[in-house]
Chain A
Amino acid sequence: MEYKEIINRLNEMESRFSDGFSSIDRTFLDALHFRLYGKEITRTGCSDCYRDAYLMILYKLKRDKTMPKQSNFVLKPGAIIQFFGEREIYVNSNLTDAAALRYLSLNKDNIVLFSQYPDDWESQVEAYLGNSEKEVESEAETSSKEVEDLKESLAAANEEIAELKMALAAANEEITNGDSAHQSIIEKLEGEIAELKKENKALKSANTRLKNASAKEMENEAPENPETEASEKTE
């Protein structure tokens, strides 16, 4: 059923929108909803769900102005396609020629699951298989080229590593030389510190001697009658 016919049918159903759709209408909406969205009308027990579905379908078709493009392959009712390890489930609403051909390329007997298919489906499958082989070959070529490139870059990286090792050895040598120079400077400084300590010790003893001498001088200069001096101070 094409776009114009479906729109006409939906327009004709509009008169029953308020009173409730007939069972034939509901069946039509079920099929159309599945075709457009790939799933059932939700909550089919409720009274408004078919009205909601009707409005949703009508809005989508009037906006798109065409029916969604369908694959040349049509699955029988109940048949689905799911490839091992893949999440996507193909039903008629999302089925593509490529998915159908891929499925048939796995086993041509799978054609029993299709209700419609092109007359030349077998040659299309062969072509698909041929393309797949070419793709595999080109992928293999690309892979081998990538391996060569990787080998070259590995060799370059090895050379770089060798150079870096040499540079590292030179740097280590420099560090060793630098260490011996540092050691001599440290020894020299330690000698100087020892000399300064000696000088400091001599200065300290000289200082002590001076302090003792000045104390003795003070004792000698002290007054003869200290009591008279005290009474003078109180006055």
Chain B
Amino acid sequence: MATESCDFKLAADLVANCENNSISGVKNHGWIVNYDDIDFEASQLDEDNPNILKSLVLTSGKKAYKVYVPGNTPFTGTNTALAAGTYRNKFTKQVSIVILDNGPEVVNKVIDQLANGKFVVVLENKYSGSDGKNTFEVFGFEQGLHATEMANDKYSEDTDGGWSTTLEESGATKGGIYLYNQSAAATRTSLASLVSGSASS
């Protein structure tokens, strides 16, 4: 058995981007897919930078679903935090979603599934970075996101009787995974094809 030591060494300066100032927050539209629908064989990480997901591909006949949260601070509570480990530190990622709707169809098709399923969410950062590679951030690609909180408060002024949910991925080795395929425009087209599902259907 070969022994190998993992070196964790910095490879770039810790600086601010003065030409293209970073902006906090994410945009109102996101995408969610069932973790098990992902074709991991066809989904490729960049060889040079494994924090870039070059393609997020689903198995035939599967599709992604849109997530829309209105307001000035959509997906509030979404964050990534360090989780200290005995031998290796990892990351815990949380995605907070508000569903301003309710009813049997919503509960049947969305809420009950969110409560028990495993998912991957793609959010669009307001700050796209100088090269556009920061535009689409992927949560849950490694371990999958699962629900840790779900509530339907009838008198909540925030959710207006809808649902609030928090999805969490724990044990992620990467602090961030970004979906980027040659350009932001091409990546957006790729996401659109995820939503449309298999075109032959």
Among B55, B105, B189, B197, contact of A89 (Cβ-Cβ < 8 Å) = B189
**A-contact bits for B42-57, CB 8 A (1 contact / 0 none):** 1100000000000111
Q: Is the CB of A30 within 8 A of B190?
A: no
Asked whether B199 is an interface residue with its Cβ less than 8 Å from the other chain, the reply is: yes
- Give the chain A neighbours of B60 by CB distance below 8 A: 76-77, 115-116
Contact indicator A31/B55 (Cβ below 8 Å) = no
Chain A: number of interface residues, binned into ranges: 20 to 34
Q: When the two chains form their complex, are residues B199 and A78 in contact, meaning their CB atoms are under 8 A apart?
A: no
Bits for B30-70, please: 1 = Cβ < 8 Å to A, else 0. 00000000010111000000000001111111111010100
CB of B198 closer than 8 Å to a CB of A: yes
- Asked if A121 lies at the interface with its beta carbon under 8 angstroms from chain B, I say no
Find B199's partner among A39, A40, A92 (CB 8 Å cutoff). Answer: A92
Q: Does A132 contact B (CB under 8 A)?
A: no
Contacts of A89 in B (CB 8 A): 185-186, 189
A115 touching B198 in the complex, CB below 8 Å, given contacts A44-B66, A89-B186, A92-B193: yes
Tell me, rounded to whole Å, the shortest Cβ–Cβ distance linking B35 to chain A.
14
Smallest CB-CB separation from B201: which chain A residue? A31
- Chain A nearest CB: distance from B192 CB in Å? 5
Taking a contact as CB atoms under 8 Å apart, the answer to whether B68 and A76 are in contact is no
Is A35 an interface position by the 8 A CB rule? yes
In the bound complex, how far is the Cα of B35 from the Cα of A68, in angstroms?
A: 32
- Contact call B199/A76, Cβ cutoff below 8 A: no
B185 lies within 8 A of A79 (CB): no
A33 and B195 alpha carbons, distance in the complex (Å): 11
7 intermolecular pairs with C-beta atoms under 8 Å apart: A74-B199, A76-B59, A79-B190, A80-B181, A80-B189, A89-B185, A113-B55
